[in-house]
Chains A and B, each alone.
Chain A
Amino acid sequence: MGRFVLKRSLFSLVSLFGLLVLVFFLSRLTGDPAALYLPVDAPQSVRDAFREARGLNDPLISQFGDFLFNLAQFDFGDSLRRQRPAFDVVMEAFPWTLGLAGLTMALVLSGAVVLGALAAIKVGGVFDRISSVISLAAASAPDFWLALMAIFIFAVGLGWVPTSGTGTPWHWILPVAVLFVRPFGLVLQVVRSSMITALSSAYVKTARAKGVKQRAITFVHALRNAMLPVITVAGDQAAGLLNGAVVVESVFGFPGVGKLMIDSILQRDFTVVLAAIMVTSLAIFTMNLLIDLAYALLDPRIRY
């Protein structure tokens, strides 16, 4: 077990390292970093001073060395726009995204598991039809469009909830609702098909021969076996949310990592972008590790 965690951590570190190297060289090779880091209208003298201060005139390889050295201390440099360490800026935004992702996925999982399991009991039945229509429509709707329409109808038209920003629990309703839709549709589809497979398996036949009630067969015998693929897909969706729901966060002015990242990119605040990638990648790695542990917990045949 400990060995497994160690091995996975090493693998992920390698992946993460590759990622940061990629971003570093992309940012250095696709143009003058000064142009990336500085505002477009910065005078030449400022650019020169910037290059000197940042060591941009050093050979690329020693720049890379400095970059790694600082990286090891979570030092990405200061945010140009905010004049504060970029890492701190990101860590301020991260809890918002974490909350948004956690709340959304909790709702998605509980909703999808119940509806999907009910749909699988009788293929072609009422629940099955409802769930296929919902999952199909939900998986097909672009979130930016949903966000606009939701604001138009519920915030502007009906005035039930605020249009954007934060402050009250009411502010969470629209972002969570919009983010909920697509993952819900996808996870629901997986729960349904996975449950259908589980319900047609031999051990369910045994349970029926034992005289176990349908409800217990569904939620005790089949569900636990069906959860592995569900967790995998839910994990992918949660990773998407942790990466910052860029579109939704920016439409709703929600101060999470996604909004921070897109703002920083548009404002050329590159240190913040790097720090944000680092933080979200670590978060996703932690989540994937937890998912692997959940596999082992659900299925005794999986041992690391």
Chain B
Amino acid sequence: MTQTGINGAPAKSPPKLPTWLGLLLADKFATVAVIFLCLVAIAALIGPALLDGVASKVAFRGRNLAPFQLDHGWLMILGSDSLGRPILARIIVAAQNTMMIAAFTVVAASCIGAALGLVAGYSRKFLSDAILRLADVIMSFPSLLLAVIVLYMLEPAVGNLVIVLAITRIPVYLRTTRAEVLEIRERMFVQAAKVMGASSWRIAFVHILPMVLPTLLTIATLDFAFVMLAESSLSFLGIGIQPPEVTWGLMVAQGRPYMNQAWWLSFWPGLFIVLTAMSLNLVSNWLRIVLDPTQRWRLEKRRETTNG
């Protein structure tokens, strides 16, 4: 009873922008992760326009050049591939497809999943059950295999890849949203809105959705990493992106036959996958703490001690 002000801290509104920055700087790992992700995003946005020519220029004399040599210019710092193309340039160019596929997938899956979850959590039993069973069917199906089968029957283009990956990820958002909605709709402020005569639409979008968003944001960040890994696996198996298009996963696959002579062909793109996924994980963890009022003091306290 006495400690409610301390342990059961009342729910707070999310922090404002300058506070966000402060809270980010309080977590050094998250700061580094955000900087890295910004670099990747920049590479994805302008990389292909800048480096497309360099990245696809075949030079048979410079095949499988070892990394860490500056004799052939800084683009060769990570070595060259089996066609003599600079690996660094190819990684930067490939960032676009890799990021784009993951981003579209996550946006599509989270929007559809959240919408279905809201409906499932807020509608009558029959519809809710039907939606849940659908999610069960999708989930009981091996997601990678679903992708393999569908992409084998359809054409493995970027669009189809996004659709297939998005379908396999919808249940995650659906279930999370539904579970949260079921909990939030029983809260008193939702009941109060009902007593005032608020429409279901109003309750779902004005009262419930804003409460679910932080959770969805956290999951989406984490899921971005998951989707990126899934796309890489598909491309690695040869049923994702097809050459001459390129993603990091495909680069790893293309380096596989040369593994024994030139390990760097597979190593570098794989390392970028790891680093990006790790950064996303870090940011997701940080978000989870920032958006949870009972946890946020940890960052605020850390910030205090570093400042003062």
- A300–B38 Cα distance when bound, in Å, is 49
- A277–B266 Cα distance when bound, in Å, is 31
User: Which chain B residues border A18 with CB–CB below 8 Å?
Assistant: 137
Q: Check B237 against A262 for contact (C-beta < 8 Å).
A: yes
Q: Check B149 against A273 for contact (C-beta < 8 Å).
A: yes
Q: Check A284 against B140 for contact (C-beta < 8 Å).
A: yes
Interface contacts (Cβ under 8 Å), in number, total 111
Q: Check B260 against A144 for contact (C-beta < 8 Å).
A: no
A156 to chain B, nearest CB (A): 6
Q: Check B152 against A140 for contact (C-beta < 8 Å).
A: no
> Which single member of A22, A149, A273 contacts B270 (CB below 8 Å)?
A149
Interface residues of A in 13-70 (CB under 8 A from B): 14-16, 18-19, 22-23, 26-27, 30-31, 36
Q: Check A15 against B229 for contact (C-beta < 8 Å).
A: no
- A28–B45 Cα distance when bound, in Å, is 40
Max count, chain A CB within 10 A of own CB: residue among B141, B148, B273: B141
Q: Check A23 against B233 for contact (C-beta < 8 Å).
A: no
Q: Check A15 against B136 for contact (C-beta < 8 Å).
A: yes
Q: Check A148 against B270 for contact (C-beta < 8 Å).
A: yes
Q: Check A246 against B145 for contact (C-beta < 8 Å).
A: yes
User: Which chain A residues border B150 with CB–CB below 8 Å?
Assistant: 26
- A136–B30 Cα distance when bound, in Å, is 12
User: Which chain B residues border A79 with CB–CB below 8 Å?
Assistant: none
Interface presence of B99 (CB below 8 A): no
Q: Check A240 against B153 for contact (C-beta < 8 Å).
A: no
Q: Check B273 against A156 for contact (C-beta < 8 Å).
A: no
Interface presence of B36 (CB below 8 A): no
User: Which chain A residues border B152 with CB–CB below 8 Å?
Assistant: 265
User: Which chain B residues border A281 with CB–CB below 8 Å?
Assistant: 140-141
Interface presence of B303 (CB below 8 A): no
Indicate whether A136 sits within 8 Å of B282 (C-beta atoms), given known contacts A19-B141, A142-B273: yes
Which residue of chain A lies nearest to B152 when distances are taken between CB atoms in the complex?
A: A265
Which residue of chain A lies nearest to B267 when distances are taken between CB atoms in the complex?
A: A149
User: Which chain A residues border B166 with CB–CB below 8 Å?
Assistant: none
Q: Check A16 against B140 for contact (C-beta < 8 Å).
A: yes
Q: Check B278 against A140 for contact (C-beta < 8 Å).
A: yes
Q: Check A142 against B259 for contact (C-beta < 8 Å).
A: no
B29 to chain A, nearest CB (A): 9
Interface presence of A137 (CB below 8 A): yes
- A144–B248 Cα distance when bound, in Å, is 12
- A7–B156 Cα distance when bound, in Å, is 39
Interface residues of B in 215-247 (CB under 8 A from A): 225, 229, 232-233, 236-237
User: Which chain B residues border A240 with CB–CB below 8 Å?
Assistant: 142
Which residue of chain B lies nearest to A123 when distances are taken between CB atoms in the complex?
A: B298
A146 to chain B, nearest CB (A): 8
Which residue of chain B lies nearest to A12 when distances are taken between CB atoms in the complex?
A: B140
Max count, chain A CB within 10 A of own CB: residue among B142, B153, B260: B142
Q: Check A19 against B278 for contact (C-beta < 8 Å).
A: no
Q: Check A265 against B281 for contact (C-beta < 8 Å).
A: no
> Can you name 24 A-B pairs with beta carbons within 8 Å?
A14-B133, A18-B137, A19-B137, A26-B150, A36-B153, A136-B282, A137-B274, A140-B275, A142-B249, A142-B270, A144-B233, A144-B236, A148-B266, A148-B270, A151-B259, A156-B259, A239-B142, A246-B144, A247-B233, A247-B236, A262-B148, A265-B149, A265-B152, A277-B145
**Known interface pairs A11-B136, A27-B153; 11 further A-B residue pairs with C-beta atoms within 8 A, sorted by A's residue number:** A16-B140, A19-B137, A26-B149, A36-B153, A139-B225, A140-B225, A140-B280, A141-B277, A142-B274, A143-B233, A145-B274
Chain A residues engaging chain B, CB cutoff 8 angstroms: 11-12, 14-16, 18-19, 22-23, 26-27, 30-31, 36, 136-137, 139-145, 148-149, 151-152, 156, 239-240, 243-244, 246-247, 250, 261-262, 265, 273, 277, 280-281, 284-285
Chain B residues engaging chain A, CB cutoff 8 angstroms: 133, 136-137, 140-142, 144-145, 148-150, 152-154, 225, 229, 232-233, 236-237, 249, 252-253, 255-256, 259-260, 263, 266-267, 270, 273-275, 277-278, 280-282
- Closest A-B pairs by Cβ, 9 of them: A145-B270, A243-B142, A140-B277, A140-B278, A30-B153, A144-B236, A18-B137, A142-B229, A15-B137
